[in-house]
A and B are shown apart, each in its own frame.
Chain A
Amino acid sequence: MPNMQNNKTPIKEQDPKVRARNFKEVCEGYTAEEAINEANRCLNCKNKPCVSGCPVGVKIPEFIAKVKEGNFEDAYKIITQTNGLPAVCGRVCPQENQCEGKCVRGIKGEPVGIGRLERFCADYMLDKPSEQEKAEPNGIKVAVIGSGPSGLTCASDLAKMGYSVTVFEAFHTAGGVLMYGIPEFRLPKAIVQHEINNLKNLGVEIKTDMVIGKILSIDEIMDMGYKAVFIGSGAGLPNFMNIPGEALVGVFSANEYLTRINLMKAYLDEYDTPVKKYDKIAVVGGGNVAMDAARCAMRLGAEHVYVIYRRSEAEMPARREEIHHAMEEGIEFMFLTNPVEIIGDEKGCVSGVKCVSMQLMEPGADGRRAVKAIDGSEHVIPIDACIMAIGTSPNPLIRSTTPGLDANKKGCLVVDENMLTTKEGVYAGGDAVTGAATVILAMGAGKTAAKAIDEYIKSL
C-alpha cells in the first residue's frame, strides 16, 4: 500500500540561528527510514508525468521503486544511467518547476520529494565503490570547453559511449558554477569533487588552467585531432547597473564575492584570499545568486543584510526554498526598491545606497510585470558594501577568437535544435547559449549535444 500522507516526509535542517553563522550544509538529508517512507508516497504512475518534467529524463518511478525496497545501490544505478551529477541535482534543481511540479501527488498535497530521494541515493553511494556502465573505447577524441554542468554532462555521456574526452577548464578547479558560485551550505564542494572523480573514473581527462581563446583556439583544438568540440563556457561575465558609484571600494559583482568565498575559500583562515566582513551590506537582485551572496554575507558576520529587488516577492526568480531559507536566517528584503546611485565617503568607500521605490505595471512582452519608479521616492539606505547580483552574460573570449562562430546580440552562441553552432563539428550548450539559466537546463543541453555529436561523428 502506498503511503498516502499528504505532506513530504520532513527533512532535518540546521537551526536557522545556528546555520546563519556557519558554512555547513543547511539541509542534512534523509535517513534510510525516512527515504523509504517518502518513496512509498510514489504511486508509480503509468504515464510518468514526473519524467517529462526532468530535463535529463531520470527514470524516476523506477529508481523510487528500488528505494522502496531499500535497494539504494540499484536506485543509484538507475539514476546515473541518465544523470551524471545526482548529488548535485538532488540539491540544487528547482524541482518545484520540474519533476515535482508534474507529480500527481502534488495535486492534493505535496508532491513526492524526488529531489530529496535522488540526493539520498547519491549520498548513500558516496563512500561505496560503484561500477559505471561504459562502452568499449573507440579511440575517437572529443573536446569539451568548460567543466560546468553542461560540459560535465556532455563529457560523461560521450565517455559512456566510448569516446576519448578531454575537458578544458580555465579555472584551477573543475566544476564551474558548482565550485565558484553555489556556496558550500547549499552544495558541499566535496560532493562536487566526488561526482567529478566519477567522471575521471570513466576515463575523462580534465585539463585545468586552460583559458580557451588565449592558450589555444577552437581551431587549434580541432587541429590536434579532436573530431568535435562542445562549448559549455557558461555566462560568467557579470552585469553592473551602470549607475554612479559602482567603482567605489566595497562594490562587488556577485561573481567576485562568491568566487572569493566558494572557490578561493576566503572564509577559512588557512586560505590566503581575503574577503572582508561588512556590518551592513546590500545585495541587489532577486535570483538564486542574490540569495547565495546575501546568505554568505550573513555567514561572514554581517549585522544587516538587505536584498534590494525592484519587483515584489511574487516575481522573484529565486527558488522559493532559498528565499524561505534566507528569510529564516534573518536576511531583510526590500521589495519594489531600485538603486540609482552608490554613495561613498571621503575615502572612496561605500557608505550608502540611494534607492527609489517602484510600482508594478502590467506584464510586458516577456510576460514579466514591468516596473516604474515612483516620483519623489528617493531615499538613502546606509550600507558599507554592495553586491550586484543582477545577472551575467556569456564571456566574449571564445566567440571573438573563433572565426565562423555566430552569436546573437546578447552574446549568446547561436545553435540549432541539436546544439550545433554555425561552425561544423562545434556544438554548444548551457548558459553560453541561453544566457544565465539553471544547472539542470545546462545538463539537459549537454546531454542533447552528446547525442548529436555521436550521430555527427558516426556520419563522417
Chain B
Amino acid sequence: MYKILKKRELNEQVTLMEIDAPLIAKKAKPGQFIIFRTDETGERVPLTIADYDRDLGTITIIFQKVGKSTMQLGTMSEGDSMLDVVGPLGTPTHFDSDIKKAAVIGGGVGCAIAYPQAKALHNMGVDVDVIAGFRSRDIVILEDEMRAVSNNLYVTTDDGSYGTKGFVTTKLAELIDSGEKYDIVIAIGPVPMMKFVCDVTKPHGIKTIVSLNPIMIDGTGMCGGCRVTVGGKTKYACVDGPDFDGFEVDFDELMRRNSAYKEQEAQAKQHICRLTGGVRHA
C-alpha cells in the first residue's frame, strides 16, 4: 500500500499528490514514470514522476482527471492509500553535458512532466527557456515552479485569457526567428502538439526530444502494448523510452493506437458518473 501524504488541486482538472514510496524515491531520475492501480478492480495506469525527495522518501505525481481511473484517484484524500505503485520505470532522460541553451515546452498537464526536465537542465547550469501552453487562464499550472527553474518563462493560452494568445509552437517559432540558439528542445504534451513542435524545429535542425504517452499495461516490457515506431523500428516506450528523438517518431500511428479504446473509455467515464453524481470535466 502506498500512502498519499499530500494532495493539492492545481486547478479544476489537475491534481498533485505526494506519495510515500521510499524505494522508488531513492532510485527515481527525471524522465521516469510509475504505474499505479488504485484498488483491486482498478486498471494499471502510467504517470510520470514529477518530482521526488530521497530524504523524505516521497515521489510526486501530477495527473489530469480525464477518465475513470484518474477521476477515482482524484477522489482519494491525504491519508488514503493506493494499492499499487510500481517504479521507477523507463529509461531516464539523458542530457549531453555540452548543452548550453534549451527550450522546454509543456502543453497543459504535460507541464508536470516538462517541469522536472527543466529543473534537471537548470541544475546542470543550462540556460532554460520554458514555454508553457494552456487552453485558458483557469487551467494554468506550476507557473511559480517553472519560473524558478527557467531563465525565461513564456505562458501561452489558446484564447489569450493569460500570457500570450496562441499556441506554444507560435511562441517557439518566434523565439527561433528572433535569433535564440537552442541546442535542444524538449516537448511534452498532447501528441499533436509534440508533432507540431517537431515541424517547427526540424527545418532548423534543432535536436528535439519528445516524451511519448502510448497505452501501457505492465510497463516492464512484457506485452508490447506501448510499442511505437521510431526511425522505422519498433520500440517499447516503457523500456526504450518514454523519451525519443521527435524527428524519428511516427506520431500519426501513435495517435491511432491511443484511440483504440475510446468507446470503452467513454463508457467507463459514464459509469463513474453515477457513482460520483456527475462528472464535470470532459
Contacts and interface: CB of A to CB of B under 8 A. Distances in A.
Interface in B38-60: 41-44
Interface in A395-423: 395-397
A458 interface: no
Contacts of A238: 222-224
B84 A216 contact: no
Contacts of B259: 249
B220 interface: yes
Interface stretch (B12-20, B85-93, B130-138, B145-153): B85-93
B222 A255 contact: yes
Contact of A397 (B27, B239, B261, B264): B239
Contact of B224 (A240, A242, A264, A273): A240
Residue among B27, B87, B222, B253 with most chain A CB within 10 A: B222
Nearest to A348: B256
Contacts of B234: 240, 242, 246-247
Given A246-B234, A247-B253, A274-B265, A259 B221 contact: no
Given A209-B84, A247-B234, A274-B268, A214 B41 contact: no
A211 B34 CA distance: 11
B224 A171 contact: no
A260 B24 contact: no
Interface string A253-285: 101100110001100001111101000000000
B224 A172 contact: no
Given A170-B86, A211-B86, A215-B88, A276 B223 contact: no
Contacts of A396: 221
A259 B43 CA distance: 11
B101 interface: no
Contacts of A209: 84-86
A255 B221 CA distance: 10
Contact of A215 (B24, B253, B261): B24
Contact of A214 (B37, B87, B222, B268): B87
Contact of A247 (B69, B221, B222, B227): B227
Nearest to A400: B239
A171 B221 CA distance: 12
Interface string B253-271: 1001101110011001000
Contacts of A98: none
A395 B221 contact: yes
A376 B88 CA distance: 50
Contacts of B190: none
A260 B224 contact: no
Interface string A77-103: 000000000000000000000000000
Given A249-B260, A264-B217, A256 B223 contact: yes
Given A170-B86, A171-B218, A273 B44 contact: yes
B65 interface: no
Contacts of A249: 256-257, 259-260
A347 interface: yes
Contacts of B74: none
B145 to A, nearest CB: 26
Contacts of B268: 272, 274
A214 B221 CA distance: 12
A270 B264 CA distance: 13
B23 A259 contact: no
A208 interface: yes
Contacts of B84: 172, 208-209
A236 interface: yes
A316 B257 CA distance: 32
B229 interface: yes
B164 to A, nearest CB: 35
A212 to B, nearest CB: 10
B119 interface: no
A264 B40 CA distance: 9
Contacts of A457: none
Given A209-B86, A215-B24, A215-B88, A272 B69 contact: yes
29 contacts: A170-B86, A170-B220, A172-B83, A208-B84, A209-B86, A211-B89, A214-B27, A215-B24, A216-B23, A247-B227, A247-B228, A247-B229, A247-B234, A255-B224, A256-B223, A259-B222, A259-B223, A265-B41, A270-B41, A271-B43, A272-B42, A273-B217, A276-B261, A276-B264, A348-B257, A349-B256, A395-B221, A395-B222, A397-B221
Interface of B: 23-24, 27, 37, 41-44, 68-69, 83-89, 217-218, 220-225, 227-229, 234, 239, 250, 252-253, 256-257, 259-261, 264-265, 268
Interface of A: 170-172, 208-209, 211, 214-216, 236-238, 240, 242, 246-247, 249-250, 252-253, 255-256, 259-260, 264-265, 270-274, 276, 347-349, 395-397
- Nearest 8 pairs of A and B residues by beta carbon: A256-B223, A348-B256, A236-B222, A274-B264, A272-B43, A273-B43, A172-B84, A253-B224
